[in-house]
């Protein structure tokens, strides 16, 4: 019963927190009256004082973001902001508290491992994460192929139909399970929207430790060796929605270091960092483009970037922005100074080319005109210095702001020609082909897949549209119909889930379409734009309906499916349910499969559960 109340009250909160996806939050943001986003509400109702030099006593938006949701809520209901709070509905007060603190109300203490009934009886010394079977970070390997070889998978195509739920873990007060579980040394490392990070035992789901961050943790965590930290051997690395980056002792959960990846108050870390040879590379995105069409907002100043840190001590080695420094351009019709260029969020986990010592990542759309040439692009940087090596743009002139109404100019902040909103949400896949040639694959929200030659500065090898043509009159995701969070590549093909539903397989050498399988249940629509994961012979993709599908890579036939959109009994006795699955894919390690469920990008299909499957 308690759970039901909690869920109903936080419906609007959920939508505010969800507004962090490159694509999938946006459709909703443009949405119906009464679903004002947290950011838009803060701009119109609070920024007249907060962030205004004329009211120095008012804490800055960045200072408010440091506060817990409970403190912001208290200020608006019983504290110094009661007058302002009285003008809002209860839903709006909760939404503002959640949006500004970037985590749900009630997340402060409830999530601690100490209070869980399933604590592990002991915490034996961790084995070397690089030796045993693992799915470490976003894409399993530095090439982000999302393909787990037979040895690491410990699961064959013939065994997949026999997978059974082994245990479930409920995230206390969680509303969006959008962190992909990392599995190393027989342990699960999991981030949550409540700001808690957990280490669990992969076999039983018992909890080793929890750690509370300052905001929500999306994407995935990365584990690697650290030096010079006493008895600490391995660290776990990740970033949060307020751009804090953390290094924790992977064995105990003790903080080794924490630092910030960006100073812009609306910047976020929404994707996984990648660990490589003692360094962590962190992608930075931003919530600025949602509703930045508001005339009171000095649009726009936030830029995507990638930042390199020393994994042992958090020292910043370099930071490279996707585009140049924003400069004043003109004043809008309300006299507010506008800036450009801005945009180019990095919504994906970078890929590392160990042969060329390069790092690749996809960028989001621009927020200002003219759109920078590095927006909606793959960028290649030198791994050591962060200097740009090349970029390949898949969509020109894509200046997009939420609230500009797709073609209809709503405010003088809006681009004169709003672009199609084609951010690249997927990590580049770096793959060596059987003949020794290499490809970097990237894909657009309109379904186009591009194969680039990393050894020829990103020259185009082939381009194919993996999505079937959109249905006539389609709007929203269905209009674009394509690829958001990315595919998985084995030695022959690449497999992509589609936001119009289903999965496509393309031949790596030529881009030829091998098969396409629709996955919507009769008479319904489904968004399968979540990331694909693969093992030999099987590609997995989940969807907005909560169903996880396993398809044979040979012919695209469905060999197994499991509906996660229901209630679960959990090992930690927390009421939990699955819901929509977006952005993340399953991780398959040592005969087990793990997936979080409940990322409701549109609708109320949210949840808070981590599921672990095995053959027993």
Binding interface with ligand HEC (CB under 6 A): 45-46, 48-50, 55, 57-59, 64, 67, 71-72, 75-76, 79-81, 84, 96
User: Smallest distance from the beta carbon of 102 to ligand HEC, in angstroms?
Assistant: 14
222 vs 236: CA distance, rounded Å: 6
User: Smallest distance from the beta carbon of 75 to ligand HEC, in angstroms?
Assistant: 4
User: Smallest distance from the beta carbon of 43 to ligand HEC, in angstroms?
Assistant: 10
48/468 with CB nearer ligand HEC = 48
79/328 with CB nearer ligand HEC = 79
78/115 with CB nearer ligand HEC = 78
33/57 with CB nearer ligand HEC = 57
Output b/e per residue, 419-455; b: 16+ Cβ within 10 A. bbbbbbbbbbbbbeeeeeebbbbbbbbbbbbbbbebe
446 vs 444: CA distance, rounded Å: 5
Query: HSE of 573 in the Cβ direction (CA atoms, 13 Å)?
Result: 7
402 Cβ contact list (under 8 Å, min separation 6): 26, 29, 30, 37, 289, 290, 291, 292, 293
Question: Could you tell me how many residues make up the chain?
Answer: 616
66/123 with CB nearer ligand HEC = 66
587 vs 133: CA distance, rounded Å: 11
23 Cβ contact list (under 8 Å, min separation 6): 421, 423, 425, 445, 477, 480, 484, 499, 529
304 vs 299: CA distance, rounded Å: 15
136 vs 125: CA distance, rounded Å: 18
User: Smallest distance from the beta carbon of 107 to ligand HEC, in angstroms?
Assistant: 17
- Is the distance from CB of 103 to CB of 18 less than 8 angstroms? no
57/408 with CB nearer ligand HEC = 57
52/354 with CB nearer ligand HEC = 52
User: Smallest distance from the beta carbon of 554 to ligand HEC, in angstroms?
Assistant: 55
User: Smallest distance from the beta carbon of 412 to ligand HEC, in angstroms?
Assistant: 23
User: Smallest distance from the beta carbon of 419 to ligand HEC, in angstroms?
Assistant: 31
36/288 with CB nearer ligand HEC = 36
User: Smallest distance from the beta carbon of 97 to ligand HEC, in angstroms?
Assistant: 8
In the chain the first and final C-alpha atoms are separated, in Å, by 33
């Amino acid at each position: 019963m308690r759970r039901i109340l909690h869920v109903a009250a936080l419906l609007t909160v959920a939508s505010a927190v969800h507004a962090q996806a490159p694509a999938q939050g946006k459709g909703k943001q443009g949405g119906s009256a009464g679903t004002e986003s947290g950011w838009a509400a803060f701009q119109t109702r609070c920024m007249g004082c907060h962030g205004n030099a004329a009211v120095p006593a008012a804490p800055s938006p960045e200072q408010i973001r440091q506060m817990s949701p409970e403190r912001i809520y208290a200020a608006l209901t019983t504290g110094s902001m009661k007058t302002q709070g009285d003008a809002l509905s209860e839903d709006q007060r909760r939404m503002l508290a959640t949006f500004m603190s970037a985590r749900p109300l009630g997340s402060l203490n409830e999530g601690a491992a100490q209070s869980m009934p399933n604590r592990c009886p002991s915490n034996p010394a961790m084995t070397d994460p690089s030796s045993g079977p693992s799915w470490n970070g976003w894409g399993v390997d530095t090439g982000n192929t999302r393909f787990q070889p037979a040895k690491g998978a410990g699961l064959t195509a013939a065994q997949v139909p026999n997978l059974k739920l082994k245990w479930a873990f409920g995230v206390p007060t969680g509303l969006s399970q959008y962190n992909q579980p990392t599995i190393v040394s027989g342990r699960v490392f999991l981030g949550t929207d409540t700001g808690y990070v957990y280490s669990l035992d992969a076999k039983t789901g018992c909890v080793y430790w929890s750690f509370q961050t300052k905001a929500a943790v999306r994407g995935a965590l990365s584990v690697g060796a650290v030096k010079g930290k006493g008895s600490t051997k391995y660290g776990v690395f990740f970033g949060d929605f307020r751009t804090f980056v953390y290094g924790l002792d992977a064995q105990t959960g003790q903080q080794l270091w924490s630092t910030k990846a960006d100073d812009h108050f609306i910047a976020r870390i929404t994707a996984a960092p990648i660990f490589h040879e003692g360094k962590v590379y962190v992608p930075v995105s931003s919530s600025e483009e949602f509703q930045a069409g508001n005339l009171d907002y000095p649009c726009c100043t936030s830029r995507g970037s990638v930042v390199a840190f020393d994994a042992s001590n958090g020292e910043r080695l370099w930071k490279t922005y996707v585009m140049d420094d924003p400069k004043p351009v003109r004043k809008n019709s309300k006299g507010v100074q506008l800036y450009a260029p801005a945009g180019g969020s990095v919504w994906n986990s970078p890929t590392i080319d160990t042969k060329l010592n390069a790092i690749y990542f996809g960028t989001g759309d621009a927020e200002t005109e003219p759109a920078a040439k590095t927006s909606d692009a793959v960028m290649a940087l030198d791994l050591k210095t962060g200097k740009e090596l090349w970029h390949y743009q898949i969509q020109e002139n894509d200046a997009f702001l939420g609230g500009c109404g797709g073609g209809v100019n709503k405010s003088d902040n809006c681009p004169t020609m709003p672009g199609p909103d084609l951010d690249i949400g997927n990590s580049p896949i770096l793959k060596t082909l059987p003949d020794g040639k290499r490809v970097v694959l990237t894909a657009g929200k309109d379904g186009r897949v591009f194969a680039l030659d990393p050894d020829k500065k990103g020259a185009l090898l082939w381009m194919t549209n993996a999505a079937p043509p959109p249905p006539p009159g389609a709007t929203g995701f269905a209009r674009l119909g394509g690829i958001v969070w990315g595919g998985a590549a084995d030695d022959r093909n690449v497999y992509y889930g589609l936001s119009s539903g289903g999965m496509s397989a393309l031949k790596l050498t030529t881009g030829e379409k091998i098969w396409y399988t629709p996955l919507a249940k009769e008479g319904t629509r489904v968004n399968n734009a979540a990331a694909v994961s693969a093992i030999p012979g099987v590609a997995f993709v989940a969807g907005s309906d909560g169903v996880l599908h396993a398809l044979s890579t040979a012919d695209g036939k469905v060999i197994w499916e499991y509906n996660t959109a229901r209630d679960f009994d959990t090992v930690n006795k927390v009421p939990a349910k699955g819901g929509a699955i977006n952005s993340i894919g399953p991780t398959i390690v040592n005969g087990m499969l793990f997936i979080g469920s409940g990322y409701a990008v549109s609708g109320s299909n949210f949840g808070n559960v981590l599921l672990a499957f095995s053959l027993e």
